[in-house]
Structure 1
Amino acid sequence: MLTTAKQKSEYTFKANRNLGRHGWLRLTPAYSVKLVEKLLICLEKDAIIADPFSGTATTGLVAAEKGYKAITFDINPFLIWLGKVKCENYSENYLADIRLQVQKALAEYKAIIQQENWVPQIFNIERWWSRQTLQVLAALRVALVEQFGEPIENSSCGLIWVAFCRLVIETSSAAFNHVSMSFNDKVTHFEIEYIEELFLNILNFILKTAENKILGNTNIIEMDACKISKLSNIKVNTIITSPPYPNRISYIRELRPYMYWTKFLNEAKQAGELDWSAVGGTWGIATSRLLSWELLENNLPEEIFSTVEKIRLSDGKNAQLLSIYVLKYFHDMHLHLSSLKSILQDKAELHYIVGNSTFFGNMVDTATLLSASMRLLGYSDIQSEIIRKRNCNKALYEYCVSAKWSSS
């Protein structure tokens, strides 16, 4: 079966870019719209869908577009904000007003380009943008704030700030030729006319796709996926989600430019704290804390400890540190699956899109290890299906792990 699995681009974030609201902002962690649609096909129309790792709100938005009610959770306030913007309905008058206000901003920002306008405190920021490009972006941001207010303070004007976020990344030297991102060799200088035209094109695309009405609704809540049991008034019958993979890639890294420019982040320490709070997060202070981290739950499947021990005993650099990372990842996922039971209706179905990984030649079989946690926690009918091959040179795959929950 492994030898016949294919790399299916339609099941990646790349295919989402041409699917309306899903294409507003490029983020690698976004998973397949088509995959969510496939999982929704057999559901009754009164099904309540939940995604405990909301991310870019793919599940919530697809469910709402199909007329379902959805509830999603995330620990990142920027992603909560972005998800709400993507899942909102907008009137024709509202969209027309945005166009008028943007024209006012564009008529005013050029007069302040040479001033010392605010820019985010991103380390080595001129690696991201040339000095001239930064001046234009900073001035445009000031003019937009005058018209719409700060994004973190006024979520009702989110469309304009999603457009600005996309402008920021498309005028940067970020190169998306890796799983996350790297940098081009040279920082490109963009002329003011080009930046303005690009911004208008981005905005037109967002406003045009925002005209499409959403039939259902999605409630997006800021919540730690390991502490869902704190919720007492929610019951769902379907889980469709894609948690972070145990590959030690920081999702904060790709989010940073957006979060700094929208002021959801003000300094690097905040990014590290957020990454430490997330399942599988390791960046900055998050990595340095692994060696002092302690288990909260000792009753984990033996398969997890066995996998961790193989990594620890390997001769790879930082094998001890990375073995703890893998243990923490599956420990946190176990806590999540335990906490999740409190919001599940009887006979609820779960679908987890996950990926495996390797450390020093040792396979971390995510689907098998999550299945073991599910089994230990009382879930039933656990199955795992390969969705696609993720890498042409390594045995890396994406799986759908499905299960059922019975309260009896």
Structure 2
Amino acid sequence: MDIQVNQRSDYTFKYNQKLARHGWLRLTPAYSVKLVTEMINKISPESFILDPFSGTATTGLVAAEQGLQAHCLDINRFLIWLGNVKCRNYSFSELDDFNQRIKTTIHQCKFLINQECWTPEIYNITRWWSTHTLKIIAALRQALVSEFGEPKEGDVSSLAWVAFCRLVIETSSAAFNHVSMSFHEQVTRYEVEQIEQLYQSILEAIINSISHPLAGKATVFYADSRYSVSNDVKYSHVVTSPPYPNRMSYIRELRPYMYWTKFLDTAKEAGEIDWQAIGGTWGMATSRLQNWDSNGIELSGSLNRIVSQIRESENKNARLMAKYVEKYFYDMYLHFDNLRHNLRDNAVLSYIVGNSSFYGIPVKTEKLLEESLHQLGYTNIGSNVVRKRNSKKELFEYCVYATWKEF
């Protein structure tokens, strides 16, 4: 039976792009501000929200905008930094000082263009930016470092670095219109004045977007969400969207930002982050997957059947993809298992997830996660369709929900 539901672009990252802090940097896997708002709209003021898969901190920022308290978790240091920049309030005095120092930075940039300024070790970097544009961007970066230092936590100068990240991607020839990143045929050449004007306009939009202080408080921490957060923190609500089981690089779109801000130095480090991420398998993560073992933990019979069907399909990567699917749901089981230690009595879980298909074999993510929740003693478990994901009729997003009841 076909499910009749619309694609709902307002429930995707596209809805966020013109919404103040939410639109600073795009990330395709990010879910919609509108969807999160609807999910927490009736939560009481004393609630304590957890997002164990923070990403661009959409949940945390929406919670803070609504006067709520939230903790968010991620394994990516860049996303932790970005999330905390977005969820912070800024005083008039520090912004006034910041604006004066930005003027100094812009002025200094002109004198650095003909010097040898640092550029990241991005493969075939001139495919991203022309040699001429690259010199200007590198000079601007050096001017930022001279005035503010490298990006750091809890400092107003982070706004300058967010604007720089936005500048880097807007002047590049990269296109993120589909799963595999592509490049435009022509690499645009920018002049100094164009770079300066674009950077200043981006920064002005960022400054304007933080004019209204956040009523609540959200903080992003480093953590591996497969394991418990802390023994002394209890949450009343979990609102999140974990990676989907679709073998997509966890940091695909983030790499240019991370290289330029030195949160990432080598492709090996990128593969390491993908390996740590639930559902991430790219580069070294793929080779490590070959030797992965579930340590004897038995999940549902439904998962075993799906894994067997994928393994036995006629495809050269069938065994690898079978193991990928098995590891994804194993990691999510670990997450649900250890999460219980940080939940209040009657805590409510809401997970936005997507189903998948491997070689024509459907992977019903929502049902498999429901089975794990049942195994672990959660109650009031179910799911509903949120939206149709793309032109493939079998791909949807669901909200999987459950309640944790202490016995």
CA offsets 1:24-80 (integer angstroms, 9 cap, x no match): 111112111111111112211101110000110000110011000101111111111
Mapping of residues 379-398 of structure 1, within 5 Å? 379-398=378-397
Equivalent position of 1:57 in the other structure: 57
Counterpart residue number, 1:79: 79
SS in 1 for 2:46: coil
Q: Following the alignment from structure 1 to structure 2, what is the Cα–Cα distance between the partners of residues 200 and 386?
A: 42
CA-atom RMSD, angstroms? 1.3
Say which SS state the counterpart of residue 178 (structure 2) adopts.
coil
In the TM superposition, what is the alpha-carbon distance from 1:156 to its structure 2 partner?
4.0
Equivalent AA in structure 1 for residue 378 of structure 2:
Y
Q: Structure 1 pair 51/297, CA: closer, same or farther in 2 (3 Å)? A: farther
Aligned residue in 2 for 1:284: 283
Q: CA deviation at 1:356?
A: 0.7
Deviation at 1:2, TM superposition (A): 4.2
Distance 2:64 2:403 in 1: 23
Distance 1:349 1:307 in 2: 29
345-354 or 155-164: bigger deviation = 155-164
* Runs of 5+ unmatched residues, structure 2: none
Distance of aligned partners of 1:27 and 1:178 in 2 relative to their CA distance in 1, 3 Å threshold: same
Count of residues in correspondence between the two structures: 407
Match of 2:306 in 1: 307
> How far 1:301 moved relative to its partner?
1.3
**SS of alignment partner, residue 208 of structure 1:** helix
1:108 CA displacement: 1.1
Q: How far 1:155 moved relative to its partner?
A: 4.3
Instruction: Tell me how far 1:180 sits from its aligned partner.
Output: 6.0
For structure 1, the residue ranges without an aligned partner over 5 or more in a row are none
Contact residue 59 and residue 240 of structure 1 kept, 8 A: yes
Deviation at 1:296, TM superposition (A): 3.3
Cα gap change, 1:296/1:72 in structure 2, threshold over 3 Å: closer, same or farther? farther
- Counterpart of 2:79 in 1: which secondary structure? helix
Equivalence for 1:209:
209
User: CA separation in 2, counterparts of 1:5 and 1:153?
Assistant: 42
1:399 aligns with 2:401: no
Name the residue aligned to 2:35: 35
- 1:377 deviation in Å? 0.6
Instruction: State the match for 1:335 in structure 2.
Output: 334
Given that 2:345 and 2:406 are in contact with CA atoms closer than 8 Å, whether structure 1 keeps it comes out as yes
Cα deviation for residue 158 of structure 1 reads 1.1
Distance in 2 between residues matched to 1:404 and 1:370, nearest whole Å: 14
Paired residue type of 1:309: S
Cα distance change of structure 1 residues 174 and 387 upon mapping to structure 2, 3 Å threshold: same
Identity %: 54
| Aligned partner of residue 292 in structure 1, secondary structure | coil
1:279 counterpart letter in structure 2: I
Secondary structure of the residue aligned to 1:25 is coil
More helix by share: 1
Asked if 1:261 corresponds to 2:252, the answer is: no
User: Tell me, what secondary structure is at the counterpart of 1:42?
Assistant: coil
Distance (Å, rounded) in 1 between the aligned partners of 2:216 and 2:385: 30
**1:297/1:92 CA distance change after superposition, 3 Å:** farther
| 289-298 or 384-393, which deviates more | 289-298
Partner Cα distance (1:92, 1:332) in 2 = 44
Residue aligning to 2:107: 107
Give the aligned partner of residue 187 of structure 2. Answer: 187
d(CA) in 2 for partners of 1:289 and 1:21?
37
1:141-220 equivalences under 5 Å are: 141-152=141-152, 155-179=155-179, 181-220=181-220
* 2:130 corresponds to: 130
The equivalent of 1:92 in structure 2 is 92
Kept after mapping to 2: 8 A contact 1:297/1:335: no
Letter in 2 for 1:76: N
Partner of 1:22: 22
- Structure 2 SS opposite 1:289: helix
